[in-house]
Structure 1
Amino acid sequence: MARTVRFHQTGGPEVLRLEDLEVGEPGPGEVRIRVDAIGLNRAEALFRSGRYIEPVRSLPARLGNEAAGVVEAVGAGAAGLAAGQAVSVVPNFSHNDYGVYGERAIVPACALLPRPDGVDAVSGAAVWMAHLTAYGAMVELGGVRAGDVVVVTAASSGVGLAAIRTARRIGATPVAVTRTRGKRARLLDEGAAEVVVSDEEDVVRRLAEITGGRGAEFVFDAVAGPGVVELARATAPGGTVFLWGAQSGRPTPYPGFDLGMPALNLRTYTMLEVTRDPQRMRRAAAFIGSGLRAGSLRPVVDRLFPLEQIVPAHRHMESGRQFGKIVVTVDH
């Protein structure tokens, strides 16, 4: 038996329950791991509340697809993995099929990466989703080049901070957009070249000043909604706006016609475009792994919660007050 988080109805953080469940043995292509740390992601809050891009197929449901731990048992065909091996779970599966919120979990073998020496469980649970999201949009699909200006909204999130560091590693110039001035100094410390405070400043005017009037070559936006029009105004001709989140919760217009049909690329994106493609995933693991070893990439952890406090952890995630990644630890 293992303590496992499930929810029996969709709703707020209070629907999460910690229950004793039989874990069982891994099937073909699966691995059972002892979970030591869990990285929390906004997608999980959306899935729990019934507002994710993928609906909950059945209840009770499990949750979570990013963690770090140790392999306990290996199913048939799960080559290259062995009991006792330290691993990280990367998100490449549906919440409807697997979940890592618990003391133990069965996951697909293809979702596991060996944890590099010197990377502890907390870091191993905090690094991959954020950096895979940033890498996939900027390097694999967006073609960001050295010298480009990259605008990052929701910049104090785990993904936002990963995007700032990824831009730096490419040789691009990251400009962080945040709502309040309180996070400005820390964003500069984490590598942002400039910080725009959207509640106080005209974003379009500030980005024009920063780019010398040409606009940003790349916008990495987690907010969506009506603000996309202003971001499009601040984008250079031929530039790209990647929408990877919808934190505003409001309808998102296509801005091209209202702005006079500029040369604008606008697309939605999820990290699954990388994690479910073996060749892209191979390149992503090499890029992020080398960045970890060199020290140019690293996770920023906001706060740790024990598994018993999964409800307060989700409440904190939804508060928007965090700076970096929220991680849940599991004591055995």
Structure 2
Amino acid sequence: MIAQQVVFDEVGGPEVLRIEKAELGEPGPGEVLVRVDALGLNRAEALFRSGGYYYQPTLPGSRLGYEAAGEVMTVGEGVTGFSVGDAVLTTSSGGMSTSGVYGDHIRLPADALLRRPGGADAVNAAALWLSYSTAYGALVEKGGLRPGDTVLITAASSSVGVAAIQIARHIGAIPVAVTRSAAKRERLAQLGAAHVIALDEGGLLEQVDGFTGGRGAEIVFDPVSGPGLAEVARAVAPGGLLIVYGWLDPRPAPLPLNWPLRILGYGNLQVTGDPETRRRVWHFLDAGLRAGTLAPVIDRAFDLEDIVEAHRHMESNSQTGKIVVTVRH
């Protein structure tokens, strides 16, 4: 079949993205053909498109995207876990250059798909897996987050930050959201943050000490890194855990010296690539969605034809929650 795919021929800004038609072909053994109804945008994809990700695109004609939700159209030989008509979402599978999901139909290995948890519709399902599995994997699987723990969440208005706030609340922990501007204070409080620290209103450590009585946070969850990491690490309680899951600031990060301190560089694919962990993540999300304690926050939805504008909006850093692209058929 002829499918629409988003591709790019050179690294650069959002303007390098274009939509082309391509022959998709029928699913081979172990593969599934999916009609895409919605895409979830992730910061990793902007980094990949601009050449700043941890691996480089294969050019020209690189594909893009990790996260999609839709419906199974056809299954290949040997596929037993899915049937035509199943509502599914994608997990990441392989490199984006060849397996990117931005398009109206995709062909993927069956093990790169999951049934949608909690009865989620396509838009919410597209906003779910990577953000919530990242926050769950880091905070719960690796961090051992417990009821009563304080977790300091930097870049809290991102989709992963919002997921971390909800997951902490779901467990009974105390989420403290950090944002650059007080303009997002009210919204983050509405989303469940017990406290909101606006960096334009004062120093990070002074505000954390005020919330914790000088103890600090049992876990600090940070996607920024860079030169500011040493100060962020000082907000960790003695013996606590600093989890770094990104590098929004690509400059060198000094080693924090406020020991005793545990530091974890978290990579989501290394955790959720394990089938047993994926099973636990799926059941955690299913339970939270059905209970209403987990609910993706959609910042804005764009049409596939407006993918360039969607990426521009993502790079504006003005969003709270997930940017979604819908696909019309």
List aligned pairs for 1:1-332, cutoff 5 A.
Answer: 1-116=2-117, 118-256=119-257, 259=258, 262-332=259-329
* 2:39–2:326 CA contact under 8 A, matched in 1: yes
* 1:91–1:275 CA contact under 8 A, matched in 2: no
2: CA distance, partners of 1:320 / 1:270? 22
Secondary structure, counterpart of 1:96 in structure 2: helix
For residue 116 of structure 1, report the CA deviation from its aligned partner. Answer: 4.1
- Please give the root-mean-square deviation of Cα atoms over the aligned residues, in Å: 1.2
* 1:39–1:67 CA contact under 8 A, matched in 2: yes
For residue 273 of structure 1, report the CA deviation from its aligned partner. Answer: 2.2
The worse-fitting range, judged by mean Cα deviation, of 21-30 and 63-72 is: 21-30
Secondary structure, counterpart of 2:183 in structure 1: helix
For residue 266 of structure 1, report the CA deviation from its aligned partner. Answer: 1.1
For residue 287 of structure 1, report the CA deviation from its aligned partner. Answer: 0.6
For residue 76 of structure 1, report the CA deviation from its aligned partner. Answer: 2.3
Distance 1:274 1:77, change over 3 A: farther
* 1:66–1:91 CA contact under 8 A, matched in 2: yes
For residue 233 of structure 1, report the CA deviation from its aligned partner. Answer: 1.0
Paired residues in the alignment total 328
* 2:118–2:289 CA contact under 8 A, matched in 1: no
2: CA distance, partners of 1:204 / 1:101? 41
For residue 253 of structure 1, report the CA deviation from its aligned partner. Answer: 1.4
TM, length-normalised to structure 1? 0.96
Q: Which runs of 5 or more structure 1 residues have no equivalent in the other structure?
A: none
Distance 1:151 1:206, change over 3 A: same
* 1:165–1:296 CA contact under 8 A, matched in 2: yes
Distance 1:318 1:293, change over 3 A: same
1: CA distance, partners of 2:94 / 2:157? 26
- Alpha-carbon displacement from aligned partner over 1:205-226 (angstroms, at most 9, x marks no partner): 1111111111110011011111
* 1:92–1:276 CA contact under 8 A, matched in 2: no
2: CA distance, partners of 1:207 / 1:77? 54
How high is the sequence identity, in percent, across the aligned residues?
55
- Alpha-carbon displacement from aligned partner over 1:53-105 (angstroms, at most 9, x marks no partner): 11223421101110100111112232210111111112243213301111101
TM, length-normalised to structure 2? 0.97
- Alpha-carbon displacement from aligned partner over 1:300-321 (angstroms, at most 9, x marks no partner): 0000000000000000001100
Letter of the 1:47 partner, please give it: F
* 1:132–1:274 CA contact under 8 A, matched in 2: no
For residue 117 of structure 1, report the CA deviation from its aligned partner. Answer: 6.2
Secondary structure, counterpart of 1:299 in structure 2: coil
- Alpha-carbon displacement from aligned partner over 1:25-47 (angstroms, at most 9, x marks no partner): 12222211000000000100111
* 1:158–1:324 CA contact under 8 A, matched in 2: yes
